[in-house]
Structure formats: structure tokens, C-alpha cells
A = this chain, B = another copy of it.
């Protein structure tokens, strides 16, 4: 009952995510959003409560619909080269990764809820990178013990490499954003993957 909405909420969220992926949170005004989304201020406030609410909805949507599938594809990639390719080479995921990048760099440090939302995503990325890098040891957190058995060291090493690989993926997207052509970024990822998998 009541007047029907003149806009599709999912579409608005997707457009907002796109806009938020291009500039900093404080660099985007509500007027910018109103213009870019083609939806009236009050409709946005009614639906999302505040600018922050809209941002959070956009981030959540992007993490769920862009990043999570991307993580799955990274985890399912046959080898590391393919994993890096799907992570940075696909232009379709640009907006999603750019928003993640912005969120990590400039939102997380000043918004705890954002930080708390991103932490598990980065962890999942690590896990996927670890899977793609070579299925040597099973998933899992580190057990509490302080002993350094060879098996534990190996597992820790896998974690560390995966952590660095996620960093590389984000760094490569950062550089693509900074002006380097996508082709070169993809090529750089391939070159690094090749070096890392030379010695299986």
C-alpha cells in the first residue's frame, strides 16, 4: 500500500557503489549522488537514512556481488597466473575492486564499521590466494601453540605468501587506477606469477 517507488533500490545501490569507487567519501556530496543516481534527496534519506548509510549499503552490495564472486574465481583458478588475471585483468570488476581499495585506504581508518566489514573480506582474499598459489596445506587459523614445527612453519609460510599476494592484487589495481593501462598491469601480474610458479 502507498505510493510505489519511482526507482529501483538495487539499481541505486549499484550506481552509488560505482560513484563511491571513483572518489573519496568526503569528495562526494549528497548533491553529487542525487545527480548521479537521478533520485531525489529525500528518497535517499528515507531509504538509507544518511550518506553513511547509503555508503554502507553500496559497500555491502559491492562486497557481496562483485568481490565475493571474484574471490571465488580466484580460489577456483587453476594456477597463480590465472588467479592474478581474473583478479586484475577483468575490466568488469574494476568498480568493485576500486571501491574496496578506497574503503581500505580511506574509510576503514576513520569508520570502524567499515573496517570490521573489510577485515573478513581481506582474510577471504588471502584464503583464495593461498588456494590458488598451490593446494599444499588445508585451510585454517593458526593453532595456539608456540612451537615451531616444520609443518607449522610451512603453513605459516603459505599464509604469509597469500597475504602478500592479496597485497599484490590490491597494489596492481591501485596502479591500474593510477593510469597504467590494464594490459600492462595484467602482464605484470602474469610475469610475477610466472616467477612464483617456476619451482613447484
Considering the complex, give the chain B residue whose CB is closest to the CB of A23.
Answer: B110
Q: Does A68 contact B (CB under 8 A)?
A: no
A157 to B192, CA, bound (A): 9
Interface size class of A (residues with CB under 8 A): 35 or more
Q: Is residue A168 within 8 Å, beta carbon to beta carbon, of the partner chain? A: yes
CA–CA, A110 and B24, complex, Å? 10
A160-B183, A167-B168 given; 14 more Cβ-contact pairs under 8 Å: A24-B26, A104-B174, A104-B178, A105-B177, A109-B177, A160-B190, A160-B191, A163-B180, A163-B191, A164-B192, A168-B168, A168-B192, A196-B196, A198-B199
Q: 10 shortest A-B CB distances, which residue pairs?
A: A167-B171, A171-B171, A160-B191, A26-B26, A164-B192, A24-B24, A163-B188, A164-B188, A160-B188, A168-B168
